[in-house]
Structure 1
Amino acid sequence: MYSLADHYFSSTLDYLQSQGIANEVALKAIKFNEYSDNKARQFAPRITLTSYNALLEYSQKTLNDPLFGFKLGQHVRTANFGILGYLIESSDSLASAIQVLLNYDSLVADIGKSQFEQLGDIAIIRWLPHPSCNEQVILRNMTAWVCVIRQLLNSKLSPSSICFTHHYSKEHLNTLATWFNCPVSINAKYNEISFPSSYLTLPFKTDNAAVHLALRQISEQQLSNFKSQQHVSEKINHMLMVKTDLQECDLIRTANALNITPRTLQRHLKLEQTSFAILLEQERKRRIPLLIGTQSLANLALSLGFKDQSSFNRAFKRWYSYSPIKYFKMQIGK
């Protein structure tokens, strides 16, 4: 079950209330009934991605704002991220803040995976959302990152560029580019933020080494508790998501990575009503729109972990009822 911390979900309700929409109205509209039983509310309650998606979709439609997630992200505060927010705030630089994000992001939400890379003078932070995350979830996440860093470093700080996997009209693209104050690309392969590597050494005004160390210790304990409760299928999805390619992804290697036997892994997945084959297929299908047309079909088949192109072609036709070539032409024509 993909989920996010209750305080992050509630921050959306707080924003809606400022827009004249009562909490009771919004929650009733999405038929929210999580934690109706007090026994289900544990120390760190979590809300399902399904409910979060529903709340942001309801908000976007009710406020008639296609960029609702963007507006929501602009109102984020470090407190909305809970302990992760305070960890970031007490970091000594952007570099250490990003490391905190990579290590403890799941304490706020395990609905995607953060990645970071540095290519000479340019640094890139990327977010790989779970396939079911809607457009508003992605908009909020990307905007919130920039918003928080501006609060902690400099309100006029701007990225070098922003990339979104979704499409936006020219009007909306201009709105995004104006606020981010940088070029914005759409229909991109990844949702990512590029910025000068020199930003990494910029000191935080809120740096507090003693507080930071104490919060790290608490975060490690919370992360350990969270991982122990996490479904095996969620762990595998995250493992597959961050792999550069899906070659040599099989049940045995995955079980070894999780320090359990293949038989035990199969048993756990059966209890979760899934299998390794299903999870691998889901990840392959998630990558199709991102990769098709960027390389030859033979290379695409290999990167997705197929033994040969004919195996890939058969699977592709089973998924989409079209050949890869016909599917690519249809995507271009959209």
Structure 2
Amino acid sequence: MNQHSNLGHISASYVNLLFDWLVSAHPEVATRMPFARPVAGELNRIEIPQWQAMLDWTYQALEDAAMPLKIAAHVRPANMGLLGYVASCCTNLGEAFARLQQFENLVYSVNALNVAFQGDEIILRWGAERGRPGHWVDSVAIGVLVAFTQHLIATPVYPRRVQFINPMPENPSDFDAFFQCKVGFAGDYTEVVWPVSLLEMPLKSPDHVMRSMLDQQAQLLLKQVKNGEESIPGFQKALQESVGAGLPSLSEVARRLCVSTRTLQRRLQEQGTSFRDELEQVRVEMAKNCLQAGDLSLADIANLLAYNDQSAFTHAFKRVTGVSPAKYQRTKRQ
């Protein structure tokens, strides 16, 4: 495993935002990009100096000072990785911000996020204890935070104040327009200040059962990020997402990882496992979360996890755990 730079790292899913935006807005520039698009996945991480170089090259190619804000405006949940899906399944923005603080290291591990309450305001603050990534990196990061927040809620709510630790750029009016507030520069911290009432705003479509499963998966991924344990970067996430989408097949997971089915099979064989075994383990772990949540019937769980029927789900669960789903659920409730 490569040693991380002092400035930290970000996930490949996050970096793919730049590539997605270029393909959409500047396809001719995208074809000249000298950097390879990274394979998405929380455990496939890009060092900040490389991210800086990508953004610097893009600016030189476009000469557009509003570039970081345009990139940020293009963000989708997939670019936030598993954190994006976890946040999307929360009940309100307060829960989503708590997940952001809890799982930030999965997506954007640079300077640590600190959350403070002051009067009727909530302040999200980043210092410079690990260094200063610079204007492009910080502007995309804060822009993504605000743009993604707007994706989560039905009615847009913008910050009261935004401040950057970096010097004022040549186009401060673009920042005022993007954030819909007066943006400061050259501050002691980078900050985003919201009304505390924002925390109670409901999300568009919270899903409590899916949130429980994704939260558990995010916890496991976070441990793997810290320990560097995942042998095929992004595999567990791609597998879990394919199950959630009702398409738990080798070809679907390979597509999500941007590799051929043959390559994925070979990598799994090299690890002494198979797609079928890995799929069964992931399904059972997801089933355990559903059973503990207690919100779904066995038939619903079987359908959610893309089993052919309840009987197939019951047999698979018992084969892995040694007990039936119903017995497992009763044991956990005692």
CA contact (8 A) 1:60 1:67 kept: no
Question: What does residue 9 of structure 1 align with?
Answer: 15
Higher deviation after alignment, 85-94 or 41-50: 41-50
CA contact (8 A) 1:127 1:190 kept: yes
Deviations 1:57-83 (A, max 9, x none): 111121102232122111111111110
Percent of paired sites with the same residue: 23
1:133 and 1:80 map into 2 onto residues whose CA distance is 20
Judged with a 3 Å threshold, the aligned counterparts in structure 2 of structure 1 residues 220 and 121 are, in CA distance, closer, same or farther, namely same
Q: Which amino acid aligns with 1:9?
A: V
Judged with a 3 Å threshold, the aligned counterparts in structure 2 of structure 1 residues 120 and 44 are, in CA distance, closer, same or farther, namely same
Q: Which amino acid aligns with 1:128?
A: G
2:42 and 2:23 map into 1 onto residues whose CA distance is 25
Question: What does residue 196 of structure 1 align with?
Answer: 195
Question: What does residue 33 of structure 2 align with?
Answer: 26
Question: What does residue 61 of structure 1 align with?
Answer: 60
Q: Provide TM-score, normalisation by structure 1.
A: 0.61
Judged with a 3 Å threshold, the aligned counterparts in structure 2 of structure 1 residues 152 and 97 are, in CA distance, closer, same or farther, namely same
Deviations 1:254-300 (A, max 9, x none): xxxxxxxxxxxxxxxxxxxxxxxxxxxxxxxxxxxxxxxxxxxxxxx
2:131 and 2:176 map into 1 onto residues whose CA distance is 25
Question: What does residue 313 of structure 1 align with?
Answer: none
The structural deviation recorded for 1:155 is 4.8
The structural deviation recorded for 1:223 is 0.6
Q: Which amino acid aligns with 2:171?
A: H
CA contact (8 A) 2:165 2:186 kept: yes
Deviations 1:197-225 (A, max 9, x none): 11111111121111111011001111111
The structural deviation recorded for 1:48 is 1.8
Partner of 1:115, secondary structure, is strand
Deviations 1:133-174 (A, max 9, x none): 1211100111111111112224531111111112225x6222
The structural deviation recorded for 1:102 is 0.6
1:122 and 1:43 map into 2 onto residues whose CA distance is 31
1:109 and 1:146 map into 2 onto residues whose CA distance is 15
Question: What does residue 49 of structure 2 align with?
Answer: 50
CA contact (8 A) 2:90 2:96 kept: yes
Q: Which amino acid aligns with 1:134?
A: G
Question: What does residue 69 of structure 2 align with?
Answer: 70
CA contact (8 A) 2:134 2:166 kept: no
Judged with a 3 Å threshold, the aligned counterparts in structure 2 of structure 1 residues 216 and 13 are, in CA distance, closer, same or farther, namely same
The structural deviation recorded for 1:25 is 2.2
Once superposed, what is the RMSD of the aligned Cα atoms? 2.4
Question: What does residue 177 of structure 1 align with?
Answer: 176
**Unpaired segments ≥5 residues, structure 2:** 230-334
Q: Which amino acid aligns with 2:151?
A: Q
Question: What does residue 287 of structure 1 align with?
Answer: none
**Unpaired segments ≥5 residues, structure 1:** 36-40, 231-334
Map 1:307-322 to 2 at 5 A: none
Q: Which amino acid aligns with 1:185?
A: G
1:185 and 1:227 map into 2 onto residues whose CA distance is 34
1:95 and 1:43 map into 2 onto residues whose CA distance is 23
CA contact (8 A) 2:12 2:38 kept: no
Q: Which amino acid aligns with 2:17?
A: S
1:78 and 1:193 map into 2 onto residues whose CA distance is 20
